[in-house]
Every structure is written in structure tokens, then in C-alpha cells.
Amino acid sequence: MTDLRATLSATPSATPSATPGASPGATGPAAEPSRAQGVTITGLAKAFGAQPVLRGVDIEIPRGSVTAVLGSSGSGKTTLLRMLAGFERPDAGTITIGGTPVNGPGRHVAPQDRHVGYVPQEGCLFPHLDVAGNVGFGLPRARRKDRVPEMLELTGLSELADRYPHQLSGGQQQRVALARALAPDPALLLLDEPFSSLDAFLRTSVRLEVLRVLRKAGTTTVIVTHDQDEALSSADQVAVLRHGQVAHAAPPLELYTHPADAALARFVGDANLLPGTVRGGRAETALGALPLADGAPVFAEGEPVLVLLRPEQLVLLSADAAGSVPGTVTQRDFHGHDTVLTVDTPASGALTVRCAGAADLAPGTPVAIRATGPVTGWAQPA
Amino acid sequence: MTSLTGPGRAASADPVGTPARRGPLGALRALWRGRANRPTGLLLVSALVTVVLLLPLVFLLIEARGAGVGRVASLIDRPLTGQLLWNTVRLTVVVTALCAVIGTGAAWLVERTDLPGRRIWAVLLVVPLAIPDFVISFGWASLSTDVSGFRGAVLVMTLSVYPLVYLPVAASLRNADPALEEVAMNLGQGRFQVFWRVTLRQARVAVLGGCLLVALGLLAEYGAFEILGYQTFTTEIFTEFSVSFNIPTASALSLVLIALGLLVLAGEAAVRGRSRGSRVDRGAQRGTGRHRLGGWTLPALLALALLAALALGVPVGSAVYWWADGTQHPFTGDSLLDATWHTALYSGSAALLATAMALPVGVLAVRHDGRMRRLLERGAYLVLAMPGLVIALSLTYFSETYADGIWYQTAPMLVVTYAIMFFPLALVGVRASVAQAPPGLEEVAHSLGLGRPAVLWRVTRPLVAPGLAAAFCLVFLSAVTELTATLILVPTGVQTLATQFWNYQQNLAYGQAAPFALLMIAITAVPSYVLGRFFDRLPGRAAGQ
């Protein structure tokens, strides 16, 4: 049963850099010393009662990288994190951290023996200890004197050493939690929705600050989040978790431009999906013939495909420009730095178009749209 | 039981955010079991505690069964029962209503208006709770024989127990979301309408909870009514038991009394329904806006001053008066010391036991969910409907019937009775304390390399200790001022502060009784104030129901 799940999980992936043939047990940590220092998750499965939460998850996390696990609520991402930390036992599968197997058949290393740092969603600072006490909590007494000021310095908290958690702002609490987790120099750092409890204004600055600290410390990190923007902007690798399986794991740019399927394309950003036909290396669509990108799957001549056009790949033109299709603006969402327009076209229905700055186009304005390639796509069942 | 703790409960749990099923006790258990995935041990211990709590009820039912339904019915079906029912019910209804009005009004004045001296009022209005009802009753009755019967009982009991409504309502108003009132005013509602339709609505659960405690307290009260010569079920049961030694009648009447208690519990649950105030919590709470009293300031001050004078001034003044008067008699310093020692011994033991019993139930209630948990919680809740007198009677009956009376009037029996009586209080404290130590903190500590013993010592202990101390104090203070069960169960030849006071008072030796009353007030008033501050500082939800 378990093996079957593990095999099923080897999701077809169009990405060259994705885990090559991730069959469980095929590649031992000893076989690839360079990877051995990172984290390897193979065939991880977990059910709560009759309800499966993870159905065979495989992720390879290179050493020193930041990997975001992205998923909607109920996708099993928190369970995955808790198993990495050792709070939950997997039903099947193996986890290897820094070359040491911590979960496997008949093996479960206790949380306190894993050297895994953990920053929970709400920070969870010890309310009875001040900032210095929190940061030094996981250190042997002798090391606190040197290490605590060092960590406070790194996270910019030196001035707050003797404050108590209730005297700190949300962003400061998050940084203390980070310093506390980093202090024992963990082999792996886990962040559970670290920025979701912060308001929008703080979120970006705290995120940048946390990433700066992480890069400086060079710690292998897993961030669990449901926020696509956050995952794409923070991570070296994004693993999208869907129904308890990894739907796609890739660097952010690749995930955005070449998602493994159409549903994934919608999940990691706004997407226009157009039906088309492949002719001579180009996809012929209602918006014209578009060149297929290098990373796109290989299609047969005349094969029906579904093509992905991101809103910024659509350009607004004056009404009768060559190679454009006419349409009418039906909705305008002004964001300041850009404007997202919904344009109704006779050729291809409603399309989402993003243009930089403030586009002064009220609903009802006639416009023309041209698509710019290259594009990716997926074979469409006839 | 296994089926309930097995896959069934796990399936109902949220698979994503499920906290580790580990508590202070659970962690201890995990020490020897190696893993802590299911709270089976916790459930077993909690079930055991619940069984102990419900023992008195079970004994009563066994006894009633043994006597036969016909006999029990004939004991109940007498004109006296009707008279007792009328006395008990009308007093309960009138006093509960008065307490609801006075307690809520006072709480609104202190928490939501610009009344001068709010901090002082907040203390003065609560202190009467720390004075035993029978001492307040003594204070009034010893001054004037006019304070007796129904009117006397209404006056004295209202003054004794209105803080039970004041306290929860004040806490609720303090934590209420001011935005709701602002929205209501924005929608064109006047000040009175806002109070009626919004403020009271928000405080509704608190008012009901306070009324519940008042009604149950009235059903259980003995000393105050005995002094005032007002006959209720409890006084009659006491007389049947300790004067006439008529145990069957006492037990039959106890069944009616418990039925009344259950009726009160059910009534409160029905009225409260499922309504709970909800608040979208975002960031720090804004200070609550206060209403300007303007021309009403002086009348409001006078009303509160009158309340404090009647509830606090009269009993304390009276006790001091009799004490001063009583110095002509030989002073009994030795008996005072001896009684204090025994009071502290019994109350302290009971507080330890009750806190220990509440610990597994509290951990289960805060950290786990499931059918079994709710069942156990409800079982513990039923204890509220059992007056101390009935618990004492039932345990006495049990020891007489099954253990040759070896436990009757011994210290362990008294301590167990206290522990059962005040278990709900201990549970309030324990729940609050467990809520202070969320499992997330323990997980973080584990991930920082600490083993279970180290986590217990460095994280759980410091976080939980204040709440457990509060639970201990709540039970201790209540046991110090307990009279009814103590009179029945206190070991022969031993006196506690309450029983010694009672003996002197019964013999009209007011001067000798007064020092005992004052000592009880001194012992309970100050810690009560400290306790009140502790629960005030907790976030609203943590304090439980």
C-alpha cells in the first residue's frame, strides 16, 4: 500500500531540475554527498484516522536553500512541517536531515534530538522569559553569554534584550522567534506561516528582514505558506502541495512560467488559458500563432493544446494595430503600481490584462490586445 | 471506551492544525509510555475523577432504591414538602432577580461610566463575597430581631451573594468590544436602547452564569437561614439528619433538593442557548469608552455607598461591636489557635486534593476535543447541583452502610467532601492555568533540544504555577468558610473556625463568636482580592465559563 502511494506520487513534471526519478530508496544519502547535507523527503504518508493527509510526498531540499511549501488550507502542509520537526510520526516514508535519517522504517528521532529549528505561526515566545531568555533558551548555559548577543545583533534586537514578549510588536516577536530558533545553529529551520499574523504593511518588511537573516546564517529553511506572492518572492524552490502530494517543485520563475498543469497555473498567479493547435513549433490560438517556450512539453504536429498567457504577456494597443484582436474593457482594478483590466473579446472571451501604472481606461472603452510569446501549454484531451 | 478514544476521535479532529496531544500530565505519562499520541491515560484518570465526583449522587440513588420508590414518595409527599418548596423557590427567585439587577447595575457603573473612585468601588463591592453568608446573617440578626423570616432572608442573602453576579458581569463588560456600542449608536439607537440591546446582550452569558451561582448557592445555604429562622430544604434536611437522626427522610428530601439544582442548571443552559459573543480579534484592544453620568453622579455614588454599607459595614461593624463587648468575658486564645490550625489543615488538604483532581480534567478540557471529553465535563458540571450538605450526608450514609462507619467524622472524609464540593472552583483555576501553556510552546522547547523533563521544568511549570496556585487558593478560601458539611463531618472533639463560631453563636455568646468571625474575614478577604486581580488579568476566554 505504502509503496504504491510512493510510486503514485512521482508526479509527472515538465521541469528539468525537478527531482530526477524520485523513486523511494533508489538514491541513498550516501550516494550523493553534496545532497546529503540538505533534506531528503521520500514517500512520506500520513493519515488521521481514515482521512489521508499526505499521500506520498517527495521533496529534495538543497543545503542552505530556502524552500517554500505552498498549499491551500487542508493540503497537508502543516502536517508535513510537523513531521519534519518530529512532532508527528509519518505512517510511511523517510526523512533525512543533514545526512542523518530521522524517520524511516522503525526509526523516529525525537524532536529534541533533531537539531531542527521551529518558528510557529504565532511566534509562541515563552511569556515568562525576556527576549534574551527566549533567544538563549535552547543553548547550554556556557554558550549563552556569547551566542545570545550575536543572535540579537543578527536580528537587530540588541536594544530589546530585556523586554518581555507582551511588550513587543508582532514583527519584533517574529524576529525573536527566529533568533531563538537559529541560536542553536540548527541543521534545518522550519517556519510555519511566519508572516500571516502580521498586517500587510509590516509583512513585506519583516519578510525581507527574515530572509536577510536566513541568507546570512546560511541555514537550510522550509517555509510553509498559503500565500503565493510570499512563496514566489522568498524561496529558491517552491513545492506546491495539493491533496497531500507534491504537484510541482521548482524554482519560483520556472513554476510561474512553466507550471505542471493548468490548475497549478491558476494557483500561482492570474492566468488566461486559451485553447490552440500546434503547428510548426507554434501554438495557433484566437490571439494568433504564439511561439512555444523552450521549457514547454514536446507536442505532436496538429495536437490540441491549452496555452498559458500571464496577464503581463498581453499588451494593449490602439484599436486597429496589426496582429491584434479587438475587445472592450469591462472592469478595472487599479493597484497603484499597476492596473489589472478585464477585457471582453469576441475572439476569446474575457481576458485578464496587466499594464504598468495607471491605465486610464474606463469600462466600456474599446481596446485591442496582442499576445507576446513565448508561451507554455499542456496537451488537451480531445 | 477504546472505540471513543481511537479512530473516532482522531477523525473528528482537524488534521492540519491539530495540537500535539500532550499535557503536563500527558507529558508525565509519555515519560513512561514513550509516546503521547492519544490521551487514553488522561481520559482514564479524568473518568476516575468524574466517578468520584458523582459518587454522592450514586449513593443517594442506591439508597432511594433500597428504601423503595413507594416509601420515598410517601416521605416526600407531605404538606411540609410543599411548604419547603414554596419557601425555597420564592426565596431563590426573588434573591436571584435582585442580585441580577444590583450586580449588573453596579458592574455597569464601575466599568462603563465615569463614576469617581472606580478602583475603590471595584474592591468594596467584591469584598462581601469573602465574608461567609452566616457571618453576614449573624451581623444583621444579632443587631435586630426584626431581621428574620422571608424578608430578612431576602435582605441578607442579596447582600451576601450579589458579587457572584457583579464579578463575571464586570469582567465581561471590561472585555466587551466597544465597537458594537459605537455601531449601535451609529445606527441611531439612544443611550438606553444601546444599554438594553447591545451592552446587556454582550454581558448576557455573564449575567446568567452569575445568576446560576446565586441560585445554586441559595439552594445549598444552611447557616444564614438557621440564624434567620427561615426554613428551606437545606435547613430541614440538616435538622432531620442531625437532630432527629431521621436519615431516610433527610435522603428523600435531598433528592428533591438535587432535582431543584438540576432544574436550575438545565434552565440556565436553556436560556443561555448557544449564543456566545464573538469578536474578530485583531491586534490590541481599544480602551472602552465610558458613559458620562453628569447629574446622575451623586445618586449613583449614594447607591453604591449604601450597598457597601449594608453588605460590608453592618456585618464587620457588628462583629467588631460584639468583640469589643465580649472582652469582659474570658478570652479563648487557645481555642482560636487550635481552630485556626485545624481549619488550615483541612482546607489546605482539600485544596491540594481538588487541584490534583481538576488537573487531568482541565488538561483534557483545554487541549483535547471529543465525545468522551464533553461527557466528562458535563459529569463534573453536575457537581454544581449538589449542595455540600447532600454530599456530606451521602458519604456518611455510604460509610455507615458499607464501611461500618469507620470513615464517619474523620479528617479524610471531610477533606474528600470539600474536594468534591469545590471541584468546580478548582477546575476554573486549572483551566485558566493550562490555557496559559499552549502545546505550541512545549513543541518549540522540544525543537530547541529539550527533553520532556526539561520542558516540564523550564516551560510548563513556570507558566502553569500561578494558575494552579489560584485554583488552590479558591478551594482553600471556600473551605475555610464552609459551615454545613463541616458541622456534620468534623472529627469529634475538634473545632474549626466555622464550627466554633457556630457553637458560640448558637449559645448566643456573641462576644465569643465575634473573634472567630473577624478571623475568617481576615483570612479570606485579602487573598480574595489578590485572586480577583489574577483572574482579571487573564484574557477573557482563558478563564473558562
Section B308-333 average pLDDT:
80
Classified as helix, coil or strand, A338 is strand
Q: Taking 50 as the threshold, does the pLDDT of residue A11 lie above it?
A: no
- C-alpha grid cell for residue B514? 465575634
Structure letter (DSSP) for residue B496: -
Only one residue has cell 438545565, namely B266
Q: Which of B7, B446, B451 sits opposite A50 (nearest CB)?
A: B7
Q: Is the pLDDT score of B267 beyond 60? A: yes
Question: How many CB atoms lie under 10 A from the CB of residue A172?
Answer: 21
- B87 has pLDDT over 90: yes
Helix B24-33 to helix B333-367 angle (10° resolution) is 70
Read off the pLDDT band of A352 (50, 70, 90). very high
Residues of A in contact with B440 (CB under 8 A): 120, 122, 124
- Cα(B127)–Cα(B527) distance, integer angstroms: 10
**Interface mutation target, options B369, B444, B537, chain A, most CBs of A under 10 Å:** B444
Query: Is A180 within 8 Å of chain B by CB?
Result: yes
Name which of B528, B543, B520 is nearest B362 in CA terms: B543
**What is the mean pLDDT of the segment spanning A216-241?**
90
Whether residue B347 has pLDDT greater than 90: yes
Helix (H) or strand (E) holding A29: none
pLDDT for the residue numbered B280: 41
DSSP designation for A305 = E
Statement: residue B392 has pLDDT above 50: yes
A381 touching chain B per CB within 8 A: no
Q: Measure B275 CA to nearest chain A CA, in Å.
A: 27
Say how many Å lie between the first and final Cα of chain A, rounded: 33
Band (pLDDT 50/70/90 cuts) for residue B283 is very low
Give the confidence band of B329 by pLDDT, cuts at 50, 70, 90: low
Which residue type does A318 have?
S
pLDDT value of position B308: 93
B75 touches B249 (CB < 8 A): yes
> Torsion-angle region of residue A98: left (phi > 0), alpha (psi -120 to 50) or beta?
left
- Encode pLDDT of A145-179 as tens digits: 999 999 998 888 899 999 998 888 888 888 899 89
Nearest CA in chain A to B459: A126
For residue B444, give how far its alpha carbon lies from the nearest alpha carbon of chain A (Å): 6
Taking 70 as the threshold, does the pLDDT of residue A346 lie above it?
A: yes
pLDDT-based confidence at residue A338 (cuts at 50, 70, 90): confident
Q: Which helix (H) or strand (E) holds A111?
A: none
Nearest CA in chain B to A50: B11
Alpha-carbon span B247 to B401, nearest angstrom: 12
Confidence of residue A2 (pLDDT cuts 50, 70, 90): very low
pLDDT of res. B333: 65
Is a pLDDT exceeding 50 seen at residue B31?
no
Helices (H), B327-460: 333-367, 371-382, 388-402, 411-421, 423-435, 439-447, 452-455
- The average confidence (pLDDT) of chain A is 83
| Number of Cβ pairs < 8 A linking chain A and chain B | 92
A66-70 sheet: strands from edge to edge? A116-119, A188-192, A221-225, A66-70, A237-242, A245-250
Question: Of the ranges A350-364, B17-31, B343-357, B378-392, which one carries the lowest mean pLDDT score?
Answer: B17-31
Q: What mean pLDDT is predicted for residues A247-273?
A: 91
Cross-chain residue pair A89–B37, CB shorter than 8 Å = yes
The shortest CB-CB distance from B459 to any of A120, A126, A180 is to A126
CB atoms within 10 A of CB B453: 11
Which residues of chain B are within 8 Å of residue A118 when distances are taken between CB atoms? 443-444, 447
Residue closest to B41 by CA, chosen among B354, B370, B32 = B32
Residue B281 has pLDDT above 50, yes or no: no
CA-based nearest residue to B304, from B128, B175, B450: B128
Give the separation between CA B209 and CA B268, rounded to whole angstroms. Answer: 8
Question: Taking CB atoms and an 8 Å limit, are A79 and B444 in contact across chains?
Answer: no
pLDDT higher than threshold 60 for residue A241: yes
Q: Is B445 within 8 Å of chain A by CB?
A: yes
Q: Given CB atoms, is A126 within the 8 Å cutoff of chain B?
A: yes
Contact of A117 with chain B, judged by CB distance below 8 Å, is answered with: yes
The average pLDDT across B444-461 equals 88
Backbone angles phi, psi at A331, to 5 degrees: -155, 145
pLDDT at B151: 92
Helix (H) or strand (E) holding A108: strand A107-108
Residues of chain B neighbouring A55 (CB-CB closer than 8 A) = none
Q: What is the predicted pLDDT for the residue at B343?
A: 92
Contact call for B440 and A137, based on CB within 8 A: no
| Residue B33 contacts A where some CB pair is shorter than 8 Å | no
Contact A110 B446 (CB under 8 A): yes
CA pair distance A179, A132, nearest whole angstrom: 10
Please give the Cα distance from B153 to B226 (Å, whole number): 10
With bands split at pLDDT 50, 70 and 90, how would you rate the model's confidence at B55? confident
pLDDT, residue A210, reads 85
Buried/exposed code over A1-40 (b: 16+ C-beta within 10 A; e: otherwise): eeeebbeebbbebbbeebbeebbbeebebeeeeebbebbb
Position A252 scores a pLDDT of 93
Asked whether residue B528 carries a pLDDT value surpassing 60, the answer given is: yes
Chain B contact set for A222 (CB, 8 A)? none
Residue B193 is predicted with a pLDDT of: 76
A32-41, A122-131, B378-387, B443-452: range with lowest mean pLDDT: A32-41
At residue A13, the pLDDT reads 38
Quote the minimal CA–CA distance from A103 to chain B in Å. Answer: 15
A127 touches chain B (CB under 8 A): yes
pLDDT in the model for residue A25: 38
Residues in chain A with CB shorter than 8 Å from the CB of B37 are 89
pLDDT single digits (tens) A64-113: 999 999 998 888 888 999 999 988 889 999 999 988 899 988 889 888 88
How many CB atoms are closer than 10 A to CB A163?
15
CA B302 to chain centre: 30
Res. B537: pLDDT tops 70: no
DSSP letter (8 states) at residue B491: P
Q: Look at A165-174, B12-21, B215-224 and tell me which has the smallest mean pLDDT.
A: B12-21
Highest mean pLDDT range out of A310-319, B174-183, B326-335?
A310-319
Residue A164 · residue A135 · CB < 8 Å: no
Residue in A closest to B37 by C-alpha = A88
Cβ contact, residue pair B451, A112, below 8 Å = yes
For residue B248, cis peptide bond before it (omega within 30 degrees of 0): no
Q: Which of B21, B449, B19, B16 is CA-nearest to residue A224?
A: B16
Which range in B37-51, B396-410, B467-481 is most confidently predicted, on average pLDDT?
Answer: B467-481
Q: Does B200 touch chain A (CB under 8 A)?
A: no
- State pLDDT tens for residues A183-193: 988 989 999 88
Contact B440 A122 (CB under 8 A): yes
Interface test with A, best of B442, B446, B447 (most A CBs within 10 A): B447
Per-residue HEC secondary structure of B197-260 comes to: HHHHHHHHHHHHHHHHHHHHHHHHCCHHHHHHCCCCHHHHHHHHHHCCCCHHHHHHHHHHHHHH
Q: Is B538 on the interface with A (CB under 8 A)?
A: no
What's the confidence (pLDDT) of residue B544? 35
Q: Which of A48, A116, A190 sits opposite B11 (nearest CB)?
A: A48
Chain A from 134 to 163: CB within 8 A of any B CB: 137-138
The closest alpha carbon to B98, from B193, B199, B166, B195, belongs to: B166
Alpha helices in B142-199 (DSSP H): 149-161, 163-175, 178-186, 191-194
The answer to whether residue A358 scores a pLDDT higher than 80 is no
Mean pLDDT of B273-298: 61
Mean pLDDT of chain B: 81
Which of A108, A137, A143, A189 is the best residue to mutate to test the B interface, defined by the most B CB atoms within 10 Å of its own CB? Answer: A137
Residue A361 has pLDDT above 80, yes or no: yes
pLDDT of residue A122: 77
pLDDT value for A22 = 38
State pLDDT tens for residues B246-256: 888 888 888 89
Task: Count other Cβ atoms within 10 Å, centred on residue A160.
Answer: 19
For chain A positions 88-107, those within 8 Å of chain B (CB to CB) are: 88-89
Per-residue pLDDT of A273-298, as tens digits, reads 989 899 888 888 888 888 888 877 88
- Residue A339 and residue A353: Cα distance in Å, rounded? 8
Chain B residue with minimum CA distance to A188: B447
